[in-house]
Amino acid sequence: MSQTVAQCGLQRDVLKTSQFLNWRHIIGPQSQDTGLWSTGNGWACYGMVRVLHTLQKWSGSSSMSSQASQLKGWIKEILDGALLSGFDNGLLHNYLNDASWFGEISGASLLTACAYRMAVNDPGMFPQKYITWADTNRQNIAQHQGGDGVFSPAVNPLAWTDKSKFTSGSPEGQAFTVFMYTAFRDCVGAGICQSSSLPATTISKPGIGPIDILTILDHAITFTSMPAPPTTTCGPPQSCDMNGCAGAFNGLSKFPQCTGNSKGCQCIATANTCGPHQSCDLNGCAGAFNGLSKFPQCTGNFVGCECTATANTCGPHQSCDLNGCAGAFNGLSKFPQCTGNFIGCECTATANTCGPHQSCDLNGCAGAFNGLSKFPKCTGNFVGCECAVTANTCGPHQSCDLNGCAGAFNGLTRFAQCTGNFVGCECTATANTCGPHQSCDLNGCAGSFNGLAKFAQCTRNFVGCECTATTKTCGPHQSCDLNGCAGAFDLSNGNAFCAGNFQGCGCTATQNTCGPPQSCDKNNCGGGYRGSVPWPQCNNFFNGCQCSATANTCGPPQSCGLNGCGGTFDLSNGKAFCSENFFGCQCAATPGTCGPPQSCDLNNCKGAFSGLVTVPTCTNFFKGCVCSPTSTTCGAQQSCDLNGCAGGFDSKGVARCQGNFKGCACKSTSVSFTLQSLSIFVNSRKDERSYN
């Protein structure tokens, strides 16, 4: 019992909103109707009244007072909402919140019955205003009863959205008026309601028997007994259409009966007898398929009549290709339905049913992958059909190597696509996807470096694949030491290239790249000086690296005083070399290089006169520098008159050469003495003239 009350509450949770007191009709994926259908609210109200009465009569109800209070509160909500609703011709609208609908008797009668029952059950909670409202409804409903006992208009019980008034007699509408009058009768009997002023009516119309009972209710009624109708010998049932039988079903009955000839005899239902197909679930039909048949037939009431298949009739979905189903989608629908056998039954879509793949985004498909699958399937309309992937279906790019994607490029394309699971979805390229590096300039790759990266990547086709950098990719050479280049030389061609970031790009060699200077003549260096600079550089392999100058690099010695050479002597070998520009190259010593003359005998000078010259020069260390002659330099004394010696006496009276071999002692002669005396005389006369 507790679960029964809970189920009522759960229904309320779904159907009621804070906007209205009354309940919406249907909430769900199929046949949703958010209107406040009066008959539906009557069903809910009267149903909870029945649950309340059962609870109160049950022996275990003493512990369930809170549940009883809940039920009363929910019933009161529905009635209060109905009390606030308007009328059309004295009747509640078919939809309580929509004045465009006509007033009808079904919902009005059942809600009125609910009010009478609760006025008796709890007069304090449902006082006189509910009775007054119910009395007004009952009197208005009475004005809509015809002479044949039929109340109208009613809503079509099988098409509640049909705005055509149903006037031929609604089975449920007629039943609801009986509920209303019996509830009124019991309210009068309990002393809560006031009895009608009309007298009781006795019905005793000929022809009304135990099968056909016409009940006209407006006030208390008494019945008189009726004679049984005459019997007819029927024999085996025949077709309801033959021999004037005019077969028909008398209410909710198992078999039809003749209404013309052989009246009352059971007959075999035909299409004429059955009329249009009705739901296999309604009115006790209990429809079922008899083998591989086109339509199901009723097996409870209306035996032999074809009915409209429902989920109960059809059972679990079967393949649309089996047992003659011939499944197909009827427009934009969630599931396909059989069109051969089992018409109207939903079936499980197959490739035949679905046809070629369509976009997962179109026609309400709402395609999605169900786990690690090859193709996505529709989850909205066309459930179970494979569809063509879109960006929405695939979501963000994932690795081409994961989850069975098996990504690959389909020709010259921007992104790789999965070829295993998730076929057609773009994926993030990996080394497996890309294969060996190709040139960044080919096949629309348009490679470039993304920041400080080891390898360039394609930015147009083959996005994300590493490529082999080209001069276009690398741009102008940058320092081999910057931005993680880690430059090194390719020994096959002597070019510097980045071995860290920007791998494969040429770079400008630095001291770190070049290492200690090596000989300019080795390893294809082709060293040379680039202008007046201290160091030679390689011009072939290892271009730009400093190298150690050689005779080939330096060429013939040049003056130590020119072009910023800054010549000096290497004291280890006595050779002059440039110490600034052209560092290490031998140069021709100059007075600036040599400094003041030193003894020709010291420091391995080995001074000597080079022919008939004035001064001696070093011939070993400090080669070319003037040195002070010594006896070793001068050798044996020669005549002061020979070889341009021009001997003369020094301050110490020693005859020495004053021309060539200057400073060397020589053998004096009379000529040399006379010349010296003449020289003294000439010089004294010059002094005398200068004085005068």
Instruction: Please determine, for residue 204, whether its predicted confidence score (pLDDT) is greater than 70.
Output: no
Q: Going by C-beta distance under 8 Å and a sequence separation of 6 or more, which residues neighbour residue 53? A: 117, 121
Instruction: Please determine, for residue 456, whether its predicted confidence score (pLDDT) is greater than 50.
Output: yes
Q: How would residue 10 be classed by pLDDT, with cut points 50, 70 and 90?
A: very high
pLDDT of residue 159: 83
pLDDT of residue 597: 93
Q: What is the mean pLDDT of residues 368-393?
A: 93
Segments making up each domain of the chain, as ranges = 2-195, 598-687
> What are the strands, taking DSSP E only, across 391-490?
416-417, 426-427, 438-439, 456-457, 466-468, 478-479, 487-490
Average pLDDT in the chain: 89
Task: Read off the amino acid at residue 181.
Answer: Y
Determine contact, residues 505/488, Cβ cutoff 8 Å. no
Q: Which residue has the tokens 């016409």?
A: 214
CA distance 136 to 290: 51
CA distances in angstroms from 654 to 32, 613, 650, 663, listed in the order given: 143, 21, 5, 10
Give the DSSP per-residue string, 68-96: HHHHHHHHHHHHHHHHTS-EETTEEBSBT
Instruction: Please determine, for residue 532, whether its predicted confidence score (pLDDT) is greater than 90.
Output: no
Q: Which residue has the tokens 């200690």?
A: 516
pLDDT of residue 495: 92
pLDDT of residue 430: 95
Q: Residue 620 has what DSSP assignment?
A: B
Q: What is the mean pLDDT of residues 186-206?
A: 71
pLDDT of residue 197: 59
CA distance 365 to 357: 11
The domain 2-195: what is its CATH number?
1.50.10.10
**Percent of the chain surpassing pLDDT 70:** 92
Task: Categorise residue 688: left if φ over 0, alpha if ψ from -120 to 50, beta otherwise.
Answer: alpha
3-state helix, strand, coil in the chain (%, to 5): 25, 20, 55
Q: Which among 113-117, 153-157, 508-512, 534-538 has the top mean pLDDT? A: 113-117
CB count within 10 Å of CB 233 equals 6
Q: What is the mean pLDDT of residues 602-630?
A: 91
Determine contact, residues 438/467, Cβ cutoff 8 Å. yes
Q: How would residue 218 be classed by pLDDT, with cut points 50, 70 and 90?
A: very low
Q: How would residue 211 be classed by pLDDT, with cut points 50, 70 and 90?
A: very low
pLDDT of residue 253: 86
Task: Read off the amino acid at residue 227.
Answer: P
CA distances in angstroms from 242 to 231, 260, 277, 286, listed in the order given: 20, 10, 21, 27
CA distance 468 to 600: 68
Write out pLDDT tens, residues 571-596.
898 889 999 999 889 898 898 889 89
